[in-house]
A and B are shown apart, each in its own frame.
Chain A
Amino acid sequence: MRRCSQTLSILLLLFTSLYFSVALGATYPDRPIRLVVPFPPGGGVDIYARLVQPELAKQLGQPIVIENKAGAGGMIGTDQVAKAAPDGYTLAAGNIATFAMNAGVYKNMPYDPVKDLTPIIQTVMVPYVLVVNPSVPARSVKELIAYAKANPGKLMYGSSGNGSGQHMAAELFKSKTGTDMLHVPYKGVGAMVIDLMAGHVQLAIADLASLMPHVKSGKLRALAVCGAARSAEYPDLPTVIEAANLPGYETIGWQGIAAPAGLPKEVIKRLNEAFNKAQSELSVKEKLISTSLTPVGGAAEEFARYIQKETAKWAKVAKDINLTVE
């Protein structure tokens, strides 16, 4: 009798566990999904989330609720997702900073982007461009390097903040070229662009969308894009690598989606497919491209490898240039 009940309970256990694993895969998602944007509304990550939201909801058959939990360079919102239940109902939208770069820059990071998160998909690339104020007598990257070497410490570059992608990109440029330029941090890219146009700072490396309108109007001069390949939008601009013969100078912003660590395989797959489909929908894709966000997509494993590579790369840059933020 006793034995019988034991077998029964084991069987029951087996069945229930089987049932649940099947159920999670089959019925997920059965309630609304929270997509945490760890930045204030209006920024690049927010724009991506809001562009993809309607199509994503259609793909998953559940409403997608976007929550802006801004603060501490995106770390507050991302940390909350990292500590949430890995059930697929709490996701983080993020970028190069929250998923990779900050780990190398901040001394007290509340989460580990590699260990505490499950990467879902790399969504878009955000190409960077190197621009100067027209008062700088340099028409190419080579001339800029020569000018900076002839006038050490005289050129000043602006960035959207201490430890930001723009700051790191410029510091990497300095260390690769052996030039000496002064860093002037701003709160956000908007304020920096004004001072750049007015000539208070002379150069900057920032995203295409923020800078190119002013290049077109003649207030700024673009010298090169910072990716590995030329931009499809501006094919006339050389890359820094080819223009100045600087192999390995590749800085490109990116965005992605992640969930708490330990997310079941089926859920990762379901989410990855949904995001891939949603962002390759023609209307969504066109809008992404028009906001200078280049769609990437791909498998979750690829994104995981990419995050590991980027985290290691920027940790080394931060260490080389001796940059830490408490």
Chain B
Amino acid sequence: MDLIANLSLGFATALSLQNLLYAFIGCLLGTLIGVLPGIGPVATIAMLLPVTYGLNPTTALIMLAGIFYGAQYGGSTTAILVNLPGESSSVVTAIDGYQMARRGKAGTALFTAGFGSFFAGCIATLVLAAFAPQLAELAFNFGPADYFSLMVLGLVGAIILSSGSILKAICMILLGLLLGLAGTDVNSGLMRFTFGIPALFDGIDFVCVAMGLFGFAEVITNLSHKDKRETFTNKVSGLWPSMADFKRMLPAIFRGTTLGSILGILPGGGAVLSSFAAYTFEKKISAHADEFGKGAIEGVAGPESANNAAAQTSFIPLLTMGIPSNAVMALMVGAMTIHNIQPGPQVMQNNPELFWGLIASMWVGNLMLVILNLPMLGVWVKLLTIPYRFLYPAILVFCCIGVYSLNSNVANIYITAILSVFGYVLSKLGCEAAPMLLGFVLGPMMEEYFRRALILSQGSYATFFTNPISLSLLVATAILIAVMAFPSIKQKRQEAFQEE
């Protein structure tokens, strides 16, 4: 068995004392920066790059990878505790995770997120080890037309994200699409909605939107009800999930892992979609659909497993083809080249100890994260007992630092400030921010793929229907729309709406 031989080589590498130590440092650092809102792994990895020169390349990459998935892990902690998603993947976690925290089940939500991530990480690592080369080929079969159809499916699915009125959800998605249009057009280089402000030339950064609409708006909303200002302190029930919680959590984790593993392989935005897709899926098939948006445990378990699985499998395009699927991966390419390793198909043959060592270290790292975080659950939950007059200013300060550090530009803080007022108005109007964020993330990608598909087909729209992958995705979209329009489900949605 090649796989076993390879994995044993990998574990032999990953379990050396030095590699274990650096994997631990990476995970710890990653968790810390993940917990601090807005400070992302990109800036951290960039700063640490020179530190890794002296290490051997495998050790260096193990540490950097640890920062990456550690940050994913830590990011969901703030999303759950204070409604601050630092990355697109934790936006979805914030929806139900934060509601669980408000109902005194912060510990359960954190446990679910951690356990789901660990499980997904283990499975996705196995997938990565067993099928990496074959899966890489799959990415080639996915052309611009197919990506476009995948995004359409994602956007229609976004309607299900909201628990309120369909009309408002559609409006919010459209608003998100419009916001995503600001910046330089890829095809013509024309500026759109930039008003001559250079800070807008590359569009609005996702982190600004997420911080403004979620975190800041939440702070303002909480400050506005003077009399019934929320405190979690008195209603923190058990940290550990009950048997019933487990029963609901486990199948969702399985489904999330499967979805995430598949979507993570697509370098053109698959990983972004994974947590949204998992949430939509869970909500559609759940027997407790009415609980979604109010603290459903599946709404945390599914997306968290999906995004961690996708985080692992997104290494496939990097390791097998040398193609980075996001900014962190781009830095890893940099780290590899600095260490004289040409990222690309040759890595697996020329540097097997690096390839398999990194894969094995992901498994080790996931285990470390669980060990690191489970005893911390109590500590994190304690954070919520901090009086708001200390907690809120601290959140705002960290957010501002994070937003500034995106590209050392003060303009980002102003943009976030404007968006937070907007977010407050939205919450007063009962409009949800999650569908808008998905529209914001998917809109620009969708346009890019749409126009590229048309350039490649010389302007023929048939390309979306003649392509089998694209066609089946569009058919799936049509089915989804039909299901939504179906009366019984519509009724269910309305019931849910009236309860609010």
Contact = CB atoms under 8 A, between A and B. Distances in A.
Q: Do A and B come from one complex?
A: yes
Given A47-B334, A200-B144, A162 B49 contact: no
Contact of A71 (B50, B199, B322, B338): B199
Contact of B143 (A47, A108, A200, A326): A200
Given A79-B198, A194-B321, A326-B190, A42 B338 contact: no
Interface in B320-342: 321-325, 327, 330-331, 333-334, 337-338, 340, 342
B351 interface: no
B189 A326 contact: yes
Nearest to B349: A217
A219 B190 contact: no
Contacts of B448: 187
Nearest to A182: B455
B42 A41 contact: yes
B191 A76 contact: no
Interface in A108-139: 108, 110
A47 B140 contact: no
Most buried by B among A41, A67, A191, A219: A41
Given A42-B333, A162-B187, A326-B191, A70 B407 contact: yes
A259 interface: no
B204 to A, nearest CB: 12
B38 to A, nearest CB: 16
A42 B408 contact: no
B139 interface: yes
Contact of A72 (B202, B267, B323, B340): B202
Contacts of A42: 46, 324, 327, 330-331, 333-334
Contact of B198 (A47, A75, A212): A75
Interface stretch (A50-58, A84-92, A240-248): A50-58
Interface string A45-66: 0110011011000000000000
A67 B362 CA distance: 30
Contacts of A162: 186-189
A40 B49 CA distance: 14
Contacts of A76: 198-199, 201, 407, 409
A187 B50 contact: no
A325 B189 contact: yes
Interface in B148-174: none
Nearest to B337: A291
Contacts of A108: 196
Contacts of B317: 194
A68 B46 contact: yes
Contacts of A325: 189-190
Contact of A184 (B42, B189, B456): B456
Interface residue tally on A, bucketed by range: 35 or more
Given A76-B409, A185-B186, A71 B144 contact: no
A178 interface: no
Contacts, number: 144
A214 interface: yes
Most buried by B among A43, A194, A209: A194
Contacts of B201: 71-72, 75-76
Contacts of A147: none
Contacts of B46: 41-42, 46, 50, 68
A195 interface: yes
Given A50-B50, A290-B337, A213 B268 contact: no
A312 interface: no
A184 B452 CA distance: 7
A72 B50 contact: no
Contacts of A163: 189
B344 interface: yes
B252 interface: no
A298 interface: no
Interface string A221-246: 00000000000000000000000000
Interface string B256-298: 0000000000011000000000000000000000000000000
Contacts of A291: 337-338
Interface in A150-166: 156, 161-163
Interface string A162-196: 11000000000000000000101111001101110
Contact of B187 (A67, A72, A185): A185
A278 interface: no
Contacts of A149: none
B421 interface: no
A198 B140 contact: yes
A46 B323 contact: no
Interface in B121-156: 139-141, 143-144
Contacts of B337: 47, 209, 290-292
A110 B345 contact: no
A72 B334 contact: no
Contacts of A194: 139-140, 267-268, 317, 321, 323
B184 interface: yes
Most buried by A among B187, B337, B346: B337
B104 interface: no
Interface in B325-379: 325, 327, 330-331, 333-334, 337-338, 340, 342-346
A197 interface: yes
Given A76-B201, A291-B337, A41 B43 contact: yes
B319 to A, nearest CB: 12
Nearest to B341: A290
A216 interface: yes
Interface string A301-326: 00000000000000000000000011
B45 interface: yes
A285 interface: no
6 contacts: A41-B45, A50-B49, A161-B189, A190-B325, A191-B268, A290-B337
Given A41-B42, A50-B46, A195-B143, 18 more contacts: A41-B331, A42-B46, A46-B334, A47-B334, A68-B46, A71-B202, A72-B201, A156-B456, A161-B186, A162-B189, A187-B448, A194-B267, A194-B317, A198-B140, A198-B141, A200-B456, A217-B346, A292-B337
Interface of A: 40-43, 46-47, 50-51, 53-54, 67-72, 75-76, 79, 108, 110, 156, 161-163, 182, 184-187, 190-191, 193-195, 197-198, 200-201, 209, 212-214, 216-217, 219, 287, 290-292, 325-326
